[in-house]
Chain A
Amino acid sequence: MTKKDIFITSAFRENSVWRQILGICSSLAVTNLMMNSLIMGLGVIFTLIFSNLTISAIRNYTPRSVRMMVQVLIIGAYVIIVDIFLRAQLPDISKQLGPYVGLIITNCIIMGRAEAFAAKNAPLDSMIDGIGAGIGYTMVLLTISSIRELFGFGSLFGFQILGNWWLKWSIMVMAPSAFFLLAIMIWIINNKYYKVKAS
């Protein structure tokens, strides 16, 4: 596979969220505001790139029996870096994201990419796979959050788009809308992109 193929496969063709249904927890929880989604996405991209790189670099020296534990510790170390950075530089967003930054550790996408790709491939390819998977995840987050923020607050990235005449949909701020929007997104993509036929 060429580098471009690796990227396209992990970002679109085998997108972690809509294709493999991984990392649903955080893609639902942080999508109330676009800014939160963007920061969360960047945090996941950072963690994915470097955890994939590290895991791939030491893949030949890790005994198979303890590899899960090693992977979790490596991922945990990078998540701590993200968390400390956010707390120092963007304290407000860090507060809003709350436990979901720490929950990047148990985000199945990262473990999934480590197991499925980084544990078997060269470091550079693994990094590209990490970027692809991270961008695929961020894309989903931004799509859902743009709808939720626009209808729920009338704004995008905090800038007021819809005027005072707009009656805010409080359902978009609450939890159920995230479930519905993700389901509709998966539905549309399955029909348009994968052309799924009824079995």
Chain B
Amino acid sequence: MNISPFILFWAAIFTSNILLTNFLGMCSYLSVSKEMESAFGLGVAVIFVLTITCALNWLVYYYLLVPLHIVYLQYIIFIIVIAATVQLLELIIERFSPALYYTLGIFLPLITVNCAIFGVALFMIIRNYDFLQTLAYASGSGIGWLLAILMLAGIRSRIKDKLIPAGLQGAGISLIVTGIMALAFVGFSGIVNVQ
């Protein structure tokens, strides 16, 4: 695949948004979007972890798994790399920046099970991205995810005390809002195709 990393970066944010077109990271997206502040914290943590773990996973895949012919173990290895990185990041941030730890700390454990992190790692393997493309795609996906969760949190804080049908309260209305957002993002598709 020969797409310039720059284009891939923008495509990952808009035309193939990781959440609105690939449905990844829905669980934490639905549960942590009640307030703007926590949504922003989680989003930043996702960008951070996504970029670092994808770079690491790329290196592990092409310099360890492929030469050793154990590509079939990729799922388990990727999960271990992600879990270990998150733990390590937690320690480093706690040690060097207590202020940042205060904002991001509680979200880091949540991220280990965020499927967006794992999904992007699998996409980069399936689509044969090189290292730069992977970095661009991963950071772009992170920013796209942040954008989506911020939009939902903003809308949810506005409709909090509006009359919503009983059966739709909570997850139902969030899904409908997300559907409308996804519909709006369909407008971006066609600018560039990275599938």
Contacts and interface: CB of A to CB of B under 8 A. Distances in A.
B176 A25 contact: no
A23 B26 CA distance: 8
- A interface, size bucket: 35 or more
B176 A190 contact: no
Interface in A157-199: 174-180, 182-183, 186-191, 196-199
Q: Which of A103, A179, A188 has the most CB of B within 10 A?
A: A179
Interface string A73-85: 1001101100110
A103 B115 contact: yes
Contacts of B31: 21
Contacts of A196: 166-167, 169
Interface residues of B, number: 42
Given A21-B30, A25-B24, A183 B179 contact: yes
Contact of B83 (A69, A177, A180, A189): A69
A73 B176 CA distance: 35
Interface stretch (A3-11, A52-60, A105-113, A118-126): A105-113
Main secondary structure, interface of A, reads helix
B27 A22 contact: yes
B21 A175 contact: yes
Interface of A: 21-26, 28-29, 69, 72-73, 76-77, 79-80, 83-84, 98-99, 102-103, 105-108, 111, 174-180, 182-183, 186-191, 196-199
Given A98-B126, A175-B23, A183-B171, 5 more contacts: A25-B115, A103-B119, A105-B118, A179-B176, A180-B179
